Structure 1
């Protein structure tokens, strides 16, 4: 959600949307979450539902992961410990976003240099030219998909961006999108004003390039959010209704 960002349902089908059962926290992920190197970041895990989201992503030892616009690095740290020494995590900063989040970018550079996390690299690239040095298993982005079509990012075509993500993933790889939900039917109307996006347009855009919808987590859902308020409004900030969509690149 630009520089301002600081910051489970049963397995059934409802209205054509697959809802994912709460995934189990496997031992390697539990160890990553408990790692002392995370410091005080563990204090926000309950609010951010870190464990549920990491489990839902399906990350595993040896994976190559992209944390796209990683903010404070909350999720990056868990990914790095979960993938282990045979895996790697790429913190990707679009140049346009990085101009507004200089402090976070500097922190990312420091994290990549931290000996406690020896499997992290920072990539800085144009927003319209997402790419990775190798094929990856997971591209993860939290509260940032809605930024791509906005002026400050160069009005990137989300479908073109989705194609680039598709190309970067291995067959069977996952694209996990978390974002603030806008009103149904609003499309991309509110991306720059309320920092929200209609979940339906995200699903439409991502699946249009070849991804298969692979389920939804309700870990961050909030039915009390009317979808009409700016996400930074003090009456809803930190409590917005967020959708968590998993898309998968077909194996063939």
Structure 2
């Protein structure tokens, strides 16, 4: 019954701004506002996520990512599944979400596999077949996306590519993979904890933060063009020197948010 509720919610979704009685102007640019995504945020499949919403700003993230109904979207390094569950309803019943959990994460902590299974189960039919959300596992640089993607979202994970435990060359390999996995004109949204500028890969290993210049170099070298930067996660009181797991700063770190484009 629980699975039926989630599948039914996905099938019935109509995002705010559609069907409100106002006829859109011909050729008017699409407006991406947080209010457009309130039904996705309020979905029953996200009840466990509500406590995190004040800090993670789910509607604002979807608006910045410009997620559309019917799109095929990848959640790169899904972690506990927060972003996957958010995307699941935002893309609607005609869309797809590929939720990727790296083998390296699962080897480090099997809970990552359990979190993936739990999230996919919420959007499966009575026979356990995925509906709308599809799990992927593989090496961190080879998710095995089964089709070209309209968008990829990766949140608070890009710094992990620079961990000393990752295979040599991982940042460049992943950046090229992300670029190649998108359709021409596709979007990559990257959100991560900010490190002190110039701190390099050491910041990823010591405090689990990302030196933005290091990240931008890898992504630009892969071919991405920065389209927009948002300050939705800007918290200037964070000195960027403490570990993101430090209780004094956890959940309140200064973060960058980029939307990059694969040229058409």
> Per the shorter chain, which TM-score range?
0.7 to 0.9
Is residue 2:230 matched to residue 1:217? yes
Number of residue pairs aligned between Structure 1 and Structure 2: 229
For residue 105 of structure 1, give the secondary structure of its aligned residue in structure 2: helix
* Residue number in structure 2 paired with 1:99: 107
2:47 maps to which residue? 39
* Residue among 151, 154, 167 paired with 2:167: 154
Asked if the contact 2:101–2:112 (Cα under 8 Å) also holds between the matched residues in 1, the reply is: no
**Aligned partners of 2:71, 2:236: CA distance in 1, in Å?**
34
Higher helix share: 2
Query: Counterpart in 2 of 1:57?
Result: 65
- Aligned twin of 2:33: 24
| Distance in 1 (alpha carbons) for counterparts of 2:88 and 2:143 | 21
Matched residues in 1 for 2:113 and 2:187: separation?
A: 25
Shift of 1:180: 0.9
Residue 197 of structure 1 corresponds to: 210
1:227 aligns with 2:240: yes
- 1: distance between equivalents of 2:207 and 2:135? 29
Q: CA deviation at 1:80?
A: 0.7
TM-score by length of 1: 0.85
Give, in angstroms, the shift of residue 147 of structure 1.
0.7
Unpaired runs of 5+ residues, structure 2, are: 1-30, 125-129
* 1:101 positional shift: 3.3
1:173 partner SS? strand
Q: Per-residue deviation at 1:23?
A: 4.5
Q: Deviations over 1:121-170 (max 9, x none)?
A: 11110113243110001111111111112133334431221101111001
Deviation at residue 197 of structure 1 after TM alignment: 1.5
Answer yes or no: is the 8 Å Cα contact 1:69–1:94 preserved in 2: yes
Given candidates 219, 241, 257, the residue that maps to 1:206 is 219
SS at match of 2:119: helix
Give the match for residue 127 of structure 2: none
Query: How far apart are the structure 1 equivalents of 2:168 and 2:95?
Result: 33
- Farther-moved stretch of structure 1 (33-42 vs 79-88): 33-42
Residues 127 and 154, structure 1, Cα contact 8 Å, conserved in 2 = no
- Per-residue deviation, residues 56-110 of structure 1 (Å, max 9, x unmatched): 0111101111111212211211211011111111110110111223223212123
The corresponding residue for 2:133 is 120
CA shift, 1:26, in A, is: 5.2
What stretches of structure 1 of length at least 5 have no aligned partner? 1-21
Higher gyration radius (CA): 2
Displacement of 1:184 in angstroms is 1.0
